[in-house]
Structure 1
Amino acid sequence: MTRIRSLAVVITISASLLAAVPCPAQIAVFDPSNYSQNLMTAANTLKQIDNQLTALQNQTQMLLNQARHLTSLPTSLLNDIDRTFTQTQNLLKQVDKIAYDVQAIEQTFQKYQGFSASQSDQQLINGARDRWQTSVSAFQHSMSVGATAVNNLLATQSHTDTLIGASQSAVGVLQVSQAGNQLLAVQARQMADLTALVAAQGRAQSIEQARQTAGEDQAREQVRRFLTSGRGYQPQSVQMFH
């Protein structure tokens, strides 16, 4: 009986000891395939983010370039160019007797033809003097236009240098285009000066040729009157040297 009790105690103690022993800890298992897949996913995500950042940078640069292309040219010489245009036009309007007008020219040139016997000698003389003054005025006007064209050469050079410098330092297409347009305006103004000069010279030459033609016609009328007068020409002795 005592041995049975002793065995029971031993069994009880053993059971108690077994119950007191802790359970073994859980061990983490490393999966290389899963780790590699996660790493590739993270790398792809980073690559996508980098691509998005690059795209944003490109769009920002594109917007900046568009802004520069739309930037207006700070240099404008259109007022100066227009002022010289106006100066040349006003000079062409300051003509004497025969203006740059078709009807006025036709009316004025009627005085250059049709000399008749109804006109007195004094009228013929006054007409010749008036035509001579018109020719002188036309040549003076031509020289004034030429002087204006020459004086504008300095302004043309200054405007050209300024606009070329502005085009070379332009930051966008709009500034280059505006500089080119102003250069064309400078060339147009220079062509206008040359046109005015050619017109003034042609006017002066035409008036002078008309004066010479009218003088020949008037001379024929005066010769006719001289030869058909009452006495006619009577030769006389003239003492030239004393």
Structure 2
Amino acid sequence: MTRFRKSSLVAGVTALALIIAAPADAQFGGIVYDPTNYAQNVLTAARSLQQINNQITQIQNQAQSLINQARNLANLPTSVLTNIQQDIDRTRALITQAQQIAYRVQDIDQVFSQRYPAGSLSGTSSGTLVSNAQTRWTDALAAYQDSLRTGATVTGNLDGTRDQSSALITASQGATGALQASQAGNQLLALQTRQLADLTAMVAAQSRAAAIQAARVAADEAQGREQTKRFLAPGAGYVPQSVSLFHD
């Protein structure tokens, strides 16, 4: 509406100048009045006014563009990255606290060579066989406990996941610029990554417990065969003896 009024004003001034330019030159009190020159001056002033209006409009557009850029560069005031990192650290701590058999390949190979041998047990003493069986039982029990602890920790993270996702969704919907929306999206991706990490830890703990139990069963079967073989070995196995239950 303002631009229309300005254009009408310029048009009116121009028309007035043309009307004034019609009469011949006149002289008033010694002052020469030149209508043509006056009309030209009016037209020049009108054009200058139009240029100024255009410049004002450009400045307003540039100011609005700067305001939009500032909004796009504004940081998101909401951040849950610290909480996400803390949740991941708790899950990682459970992995490093694994009992009996750790999650390191070196430790697994060493333990299996001692307590879960794949070869013959003929050269292993009876005392060592019994001790290894007891230790394998402890391994399985500890693995199940670790699995339960991991499950409890992952379940405890669900409340934090709900609060964090709610805060990020609210912040994303109220974002004033592209940067804030992008940062909210990145934090939501980080939250999903933490959920995947929890799921990975849970699956790893359950698989570890199942694998240790299966290895224990296989080792106990091998030990049972070896002990039965020794028990039935001629001359070196079991020798029956007379036992007196009553004494005179």
What's the TM-score bracket when you normalise by the shorter of the two chains?
0.7 to 0.9
Paired with 2:174 and 2:156, the residues of 1 have a C-alpha distance of: 29
Within a 5 Å distance, the mapping from 1:201-216 to structure 2 comes to: 201-216=206-221
Match of 2:49 in 1: 46
Paired with 1:224 and 1:78, the residues of 2 have a C-alpha distance of: 61
Q: How far is 1:145 from its partner?
A: 0.7
Match of 1:107 in 2: 110
Aligned counterpart for 1:193 among listed residues 190, 198, 201 = 198
Deviations 1:140-197 (A, max 9, x none): 1111111111111111111111011111111111111111111111111111101111
Match of 2:3 in 1: none
Amino acid at match of 2:121: S
Deviations 1:194-230 (A, max 9, x none): 1111111111111011001001101110110121153
Match of 2:77 in 1: 74
2:97 matched to 1:94? yes
Deviations 1:62-109 (A, max 9, x none): 111111111111111111111111111111111111000001000001
SS in 1 for 2:98: coil
* Counterpart contact for 1:85–1:189, Cα < 8 Å: yes
Q: How far is 1:133 from its partner?
A: 1.3
Amino acid at match of 1:221: E
2:146 matched to 1:141? yes
Paired with 1:157 and 1:109, the residues of 2 have a C-alpha distance of: 42
Paired with 2:206 and 2:220, the residues of 1 have a C-alpha distance of: 21
Amino acid at match of 1:71: A
Larger RCO: 1 or 2 (CA < 8 Å, sep 6+): 1
Distance 1:229 1:119, change over 3 A: farther
Structure 1, gaps ≥5 residues long: 1-24, 235-242
Q: How far is 1:29 from its partner?
A: 8.0
SS in 2 for 1:171: coil
Distance 1:115 1:133, change over 3 A: farther
Amino acid at match of 2:77: P
2:154 matched to 1:182? no
Q: TM-score, normalised by structure 2?
A: 0.78
Q: TM-score, normalised by structure 1?
A: 0.79
Match of 1:6 in 2: none
Paired with 1:229 and 1:188, the residues of 2 have a C-alpha distance of: 63
Match of 2:19 in 1: none
Count the aligned residue pairs: 210
CA RMSD of aligned residues (A): 2.1
